[in-house]
Amino acid sequence: MITTQNLTKKFDQITAVENLSLDIPEGEVFGFLGPNGAGKTTTVRMLTSLISPTKGNATVNGFQVGEHDIDIRRSVGLLTETPGMYDNLSAERNLEIYASLYEVEDVQGQVEKYLRFLGLWDRRLDVAATFSKGMKQKLAIARALLHEPKTLFLDEPTAGLDPEASRLVREFILEIKQQGRTIFICTHNLDEADRLCDRIGVFKTRLVVVDSPVNLRRQVFGRKVVFHLIQADQSLVDKIAGHPHVSEANLVENKIVATIEDPETHNPELIRILVGEGADVQFIGELRRSLEDVYLQLVKNA
């Protein structure tokens, strides 16, 4: 569980994070989206008690940032932007060191559990320098999970990985999501955020908006329904546009694209209107905007 109130971080004259107020309940996967230099990593560093806020409050897993820093670090896992493994040491030794530092009781058991879980058990004695980028990233994820943290911070978990490795990491995140942990993901990968996150916060020094991916699309672009007709004309568009729950309707070739409030309720009535006007409806569907469109629109306006 993460709560922040007016969390602010300044470096000399530069404000990296300004008045960030968030409430992330237990078990939620929260995506933190923003352009480079938006302050995402600074936020994660504050929430993991690596750096202290200039102003404002934050609690993580019930512990106050700045007061219970050791408790926070004990209760969270952090995947940093770069894996930062000890390249001269074996995968197993790397994890043993961190398990000891995280005060894990059954060091060997936890190390084996996560090496097996991530498919690295057979390579446990190999030095990390021989690992591919994807394998190092998996090892770094294992490191973040060794002490079974309640909250996991993942800073760009798939940055620089090839599609196969990215997919493996995403599948792994979905698996740990099932375990009910709170996951805070900083990412540029909008497709990833769309697939993994319950809610998304768009951030550019200040928090622009927070909502579920579906609601963000609705907020920014509304819900658009496309009516595919054999033959469409402007009179049919006018009929649809005249409906009290339709805010906008346009003719695009033989399709009518309408912005409709609550399409599940009003679509049947609109279809009846079209049919009543003699239109031949082939099929209808919702026009899905990509999260990228939503993000770019929001960041542009921020």
Partner 1 sequence: MNKINTIIRKEWSEVFKNRMVLFTTAFLPLILTAIPLGIIYATSRSGDFSGITGDLPQEFNAFCPENFSGGDCFQVFIVSQFMIMFMIIPLAIPAAISSYSIVGEKVNRSLEPLLATPITTTELLVGKSLSAIIPALIATWAGFTIFIIGSWFMIANPVVIGNFLDTRWLIAIFIIGPLMALSAVSFSIIVSSRVNDPRVAEQVSMIIILPVLAVFFGQMAGIIILNVTFMLVSALLLGLVDAGLVYLSIHLFQRETIITRWK
Q: What does the binding site for partner 1 look like in residue numbers (CB under 8 A)?
A: 11, 45, 48, 50-52, 70-71, 73-74, 76, 78, 80, 82-89, 93, 97-98, 100-103, 140, 143
Q: How far apart, in whole angstroms, are the C-alpha atoms of residue 201 and residue 32? A: 5
Nearer to partner 1, 8 or 48 (CB): 48
Which CB atom, from 125 or from 230, has the smaller least distance to partner 1?
125
Record the tokens describing residue 85, joined without a space: 């493994």
Nearest to 271 by CA among 221, 217, 216, 225: 225
For partner 1, the closer CB: 29 or 142 = 142
Q: Which is nearer to partner 1, 143 or 199 (CB)?
A: 143
Contacts of 135 (CB under 8 A, 6+ apart): 120, 123
The minimum distance between CB 202 and partner 1, in angstroms, equals: 24
- Least Å distance, CB 104 to partner 1, is 11
- Count CB neighbours of 155 within 10 A: 21
Of 154, 94, 164, 106, nearest to 132 by C-alpha is: 164
> Which ranges of 76-222 does DSSP label H, i.e. alpha helix?
91-101, 107-117, 133-145, 163-178, 190-196, 213-221
Residue whose structure tokens are 């695009």: 252
In whole angstroms, the minimum distance from the beta carbon of 71 to partner 1 comes to 8
Of 74 and 255, which CB lies nearer to partner 1 in the complex structure?
74
Of 48 and 158, which has the nearer Cβ to partner 1? 48
Q: How far is the CB of 170 from partner 1 (least distance, A)?
A: 21
For partner 1, which is the closer residue by CB, 2 or 85? Answer: 85
Specify whether the CB–CB gap between 231 and 254 falls below 8 A. yes
CA distances from 217 to 23, 285, 286, 299 (A): 21, 16, 12, 14
Q: Could you give the maximum distance between any two Cα atoms of the chain, in Å?
A: 75
229: tokens are 């007709």
- Taking the complex as a whole, the smallest distance from the CB of residue 73 to partner 1 amounts, in Å, to 4
CB of 205 to partner 1, least distance (A): 16
Question: Helix 91-101 crosses helix 133-145 at what angle (to 10 degrees)?
Answer: 30
Query: Least distance in Å: CB of 4 to partner 1?
Result: 18
In angstroms, the CA 114 to CA 95 distance is: 9
Please identify which residue in the block is written with the tokens 């002490």: 147
CB of 102 to partner 1, least distance (A): 6
Nearer to partner 1, 70 or 230 (CB): 70
Measured from the Cβ of residue 144, the count of other Cβ atoms closer than 10 Å reads 22
- Is residue 152 within 8 A of residue 79, CB to CB? The reply is yes
